[in-house]
Amino acid sequence: MATLLITGIAGGLAQRVARILLDSGHTVIGVDYRALRSSATLREGEERLTIHRAHYNKTIIEDVFRHTHIEAVLHLGRTGSFKESLGKRFDLNVVGSQKIMNLCLQHGVKSLVVFSTFHIYGAHPANHIPIAEDEPLRAGLEFPQIADAIQMDNMASTWVYRHPEVRTVVLRCTNVIGPTVQNTMSEFLRRPRVPYLLGFNPMSQFVHEDDMVRAILAVWRSEQRGIFNVGGPAIIPWRTALELCRSRTFPIPWPLTHFAAELFGRLPYYLINFFRYPCVISDRALREATGWSPQIPIEDTLWSTVANARLHSTR
């Protein structure tokens, strides 16, 4: 049995990964700068689980690596939250990730999985459909607020080939949604009323959190290294996705999007382009390399994300 360190352990996705590993007999060390929520599926003190609340670039992380033989690191702690300042996100995503990767090298960690995002490709009218892993990253050209995610991905992608002694995999995932995920897209879909851009209906992808967990574990268990996109079970128009969520919708003209972004919970402005232009990724490389494929249909993926919110909205 292996000992794995998982960053971002306060998040729903990381907890689902940890739960499977613990139930399989592995030992898990969880790290996060956030506290576990009361609804967490993990409990501090349970057998073979240790949790540290700390930033990824602090001394406590060094102590964890120094005193524990860690065989693999699942770096799932990238923050996309715009509730955090730009400086704090850079510190977490870039400086913290660099610290984690350096510690992997120093302490002989065998494998590293880095959780990235398809947002770094950018939604753009010139995008190929679908986008492969060697396509240019357009997002940084227009939206510097996602620069930390691009820099983290570039750093990890370079690491794949610069340090072959640590088998490294970078996963660029599409919209990860599901009943326990609290990210921007899942929360947006759960809104009682969901807007769409008037005159636009781009093709979209979604992957269920359980299928994303399976992808993370598939690359960890494999002998693969490199950069892999993680898509979903289907490619559908955005407004079809809203229909499957049984959302009450309303149109917003493009000139009012700045106002709408503020109105709907400080929605990251770069994300609005994904409601305007397609950013459809190909996960053919991952499927061929590991045999992974999404198992949860798109209808179930979307409905499971919003079902509880819809139930409460009808009461």
* pLDDT tens, residue order, the chain (315 aa): 999 999 999 999 999 999 999 999 999 999 998 888 766 778 777 889 999 998 887 788 999 999 999 999 999 987 765 555 666 778 888 889 999 999 999 999 999 999 999 999 999 888 889 999 999 888 866 666 788 899 999 999 999 999 999 999 999 999 999 999 989 899 999 999 998 999 999 999 999 999 999 999 999 999 999 999 999 999 999 999 999 999 999 999 988 877 766 666 567 777 888 999 999 999 999 999 999 999 999 999 999 999 999 987 654
* Cβ proximity of 224 and 277 under 8 Å: no
CA atoms within 13 A on the CB side of 122: 18
Return the pLDDT at 305: 98
Q: Which residues pair with 175 in a beta bridge?
A: 206
For residue 257, give the nearest of 270, 243, 239 by alpha carbon: 270
Return the pLDDT at 41: 78
Tokens encoding 111: 């494998």
Task: Phi first, then psi: give them for residue 174, nearest 5 degrees.
Answer: -75, -165
pTM of the model: 0.93
How many angstroms separate the CA atoms of 228 and 43, rounded?
A: 32
Task: Phi first, then psi: give them for residue 220, nearest 5 degrees.
Answer: -65, -40
How many angstroms separate the CA atoms of 280 and 139, rounded?
A: 14
How many angstroms separate the CA atoms of 14 and 12, rounded?
A: 6
For residue 146, give the nearest of 270, 279, 273, 275 by alpha carbon: 270
* Cβ proximity of 154 and 198 under 8 Å: no
Task: Phi first, then psi: give them for residue 290, nearest 5 degrees.
Answer: -120, -15
Return the pLDDT at 217: 98
* Cβ proximity of 233 and 296 under 8 Å: yes
Return the pLDDT at 142: 66
* Cβ proximity of 140 and 150 under 8 Å: yes
The 3-state secondary structure of the chain, one letter per residue = CCEEEEECCCCHHHHHHHHHHHHCCCEEEEEECCCCCCCCCCCCCCCCEEEEECCCCCHHHHHHHHHCCCCEEEECCCCCCCCCCHHHHHHHHHHHHHHHHHHHHHCCCCEEEEEEEHHHHCCCCCCCCCECCCCCCCHHHHCHHHHHHHHHHHHHHHHHHHCCCCEEEEEEECEEECCCCCCHHHHHHCCCEEEEECCCCCEEEEEEHHHHHHHHHHHHHCCCCEEEEECCCCEEEHHHHHHHCCCEEEEECHHHHHHHHHHCCCCCHHHHHHHCCCCCECCHHHHHHHCCCCCCCHHHHHHHHHHHHHHHHCC
Tokens encoding 161: 């080939």
